[in-house]
Amino acid sequence: MMERFDPFKGERLQVLDEGGRVQTGLDPGLPDEVLRKMYEAMLATRVADAKAFKLQRQGRMGTYPPSLGHEACQVGVASALAADDWIFPYFRDLGVYITLGYPLSDYFHYWMGNEAGLRTPEGLNIYPLAIPVASQILHAVGAGLAANYRKLQIAVAATFGDGATSEGDFHEAMNFAGVFRTPNVFICYNNQFAISVPRSRQTASATIAGKASAYGFRGIQVDGNDVLAVWTAVKEAAEAARRGGGPTLIEAYTYRMGDHTTSDDASRYRAGEEVREWESKDPIRRLQAYLKTKGLWDEGFERGLQEKAAALVEKAVEAAEARPAATVDDVFAFTYAAMPPNLREEMADLKAFLKGGSR
């Protein structure tokens, strides 16, 4: 597929058009169960995301970066990875977490303001989401180097936004990956904005996918609102990576439907008309239409999933809010493997102060 869609010719992989009609010869032929699972994960992502937004407005969650509109990107990426693969996500990746089975209550717990929620359960190969932009791409490259050294047949994915491609770490990561032929799959969610600054201000390149060429590896642009296109490209890139075929850069062309975070107001810098135009490309509705034509979707199925998602989210919120608050020990204990004397003293002092005692 990589060879068939050349970013320098303005070609973009799209499996489902905006009406959910499959393009001739591009249907990956996924089993019904897999398609239904993808749809379910996308739906759950949207429901959980909307809930997180509400919780923030109610003062029950901290600043939160909404994933609205990114469901196809996130679920497409995560669905295409194998259990042994690794992913180095960024802060707007709720669907990745949901698809890979990360406890949603932990995810909420983190955004509610407790690091404990970022402790990946054993057996899940998710590195903690990175907030400093583009910095996580280098970690993925290092993990790729480690995979090569240990002769592991795995792919290592990293996700990031279009703004990340302006950072030095993006360049350094691509360059290392090309030189060392690391088994990486880089997925840029080109959502057209880095907070307020549009994609045109991030790079003068015609596409982001095209940048791969300068680093000596494959790049492909895909429709980021088409989960099957994202899945197809990531699947192929991950397989190539596992076979020793080196890295791939995938540009998933999409749109950030929400604000950058709950502290942002996107109406300050972009037109409502543009947003409405992208509403018609909605990734969930698109997959839904496809499922419908395959006879895999009806009102009852939808209702069932909506109820399931709502229950999942309610349970997660309840569990997250029921978790005990971090203790003084928690915030000191993980700075070093063994607590040094200065931290022990500071911790004892803080505890004494909180108890109303004196030194």
Partner 1 sequence: MIMTMVQAVNQALAQEMERDDRYILLGEDVGRDGGVFRVTEGLVDKFGPERIIDTPLAESAAVGAAIGMTALGLRPIVEIQFMGFIYPAFNQIISHAARLRNRTRGRFPVPLTIRTPYGAGIRALEHHSESTEALFCQIPGLTVVVPSDPADAKGLLIASLRSEDPVIFLEPTRLYRAEKQEVPEALFEVPLGKARIIREGKDVTVIAWGAMIPVARKAAEAARAEGIEAEIVDLRTLSPMDGETIVGSVTKTGRAVVLHEAPKTCGLGAEIAALIGERALLRLKAPVLRVTGPDITVPLPKSEDYYYPGPERLVRAVRELMEY
Provide the annotated active-site residues: 256, 260, 269
Sign of CA dihedral 31, 36, 37, 42: positive
φ and ψ at 99, to 5 degrees?
-60, -40
Nearest to residue 174, comparing CAs of 218, 205, 221, 207?
218
Query: Smallest gap, in angstroms, from Cβ of residue 340 to partner 1?
Result: 3
| 92-101 burial code (b ≥16 CB/10 A, e <16) | bbbbbbbbbe
146 binds partner 1, rule: CB under 8 A: yes
For partner 1, give the closer residue by CB, 181 or 308: 181
For partner 1, give the closer residue by CB, 50 or 146: 146
**The residue type at 25:** G
Query: Smallest gap, in angstroms, from Cβ of residue 327 to partner 1?
Result: 12
Nearest to residue 238, comparing CAs of 276, 279, 184?
184
Q: How far is CA 81 from the centre of its chain?
A: 13
- Binding residue (CB under 8 A) for partner 1 from 39, 53, 64, 88: 88
Query: Smallest gap, in angstroms, from Cβ of residue 134 to partner 1?
Result: 9
For partner 1, give the closer residue by CB, 88 or 107: 88
Query: Smallest gap, in angstroms, from Cβ of residue 159 to partner 1?
Result: 14
Strand 184-190 and strand 193-194: pairing? unpaired
- Binding residue (CB under 8 A) for partner 1 from 15, 140, 194, 320: 140
Task: Say how far apart CA 81 and CA 75 lie, in whole Å.
Answer: 10
Task: Say how far apart CA 175 and CA 215 lie, in whole Å.
Answer: 6
Query: Smallest gap, in angstroms, from Cβ of residue 8 to partner 1?
Result: 25
- Supply the DSSP string of 60-85, one letter for each residue: SS-S----TT-HHHHHHHHHTS-TT-
Contact in structure between 65 and 260 (CB atoms under 8 Å): yes
Helix (H), strand (E) counts: the chain: 12, 7
22 binds partner 1, rule: CB under 8 A: no
- Binding residue (CB under 8 A) for partner 1 from 149, 295, 299, 357: 149
Nearest to residue 119, comparing CAs of 132, 131, 133, 105?
105
- Total number of residues binding partner 1 (CB under 8 A)? 44
152 binds partner 1, rule: CB under 8 A: yes
For partner 1, give the closer residue by CB, 314 or 345: 345
Task: Say how far apart CA 127 and CA 88 lie, in whole Å.
Answer: 5
- Binding residue (CB under 8 A) for partner 1 from 28, 101, 142, 216: 142
Interface stretch with partner 1, choices 16-24, 175-183, 231-239, 310-318 (CB under 8 A): 175-183
**The residue type at 323:** R
168 binds partner 1, rule: CB under 8 A: yes
| Residues in 312-351 that interact with partner 1 by CB under 8 A | 330, 333-337, 340-343
| Residues in 99-118 that interact with partner 1 by CB under 8 A | 115-116, 118
172 binds partner 1, rule: CB under 8 A: yes
Query: Smallest gap, in angstroms, from Cβ of residue 221 to partner 1?
Result: 25
For partner 1, give the closer residue by CB, 300 or 341: 341
In the complex, which residues of this chain contact partner 1 (CB under 8 A)? 86, 88, 115-116, 118-120, 127-128, 130, 132, 135, 137-150, 152, 168-169, 172-173, 175-176, 179, 330, 333-337, 340-343
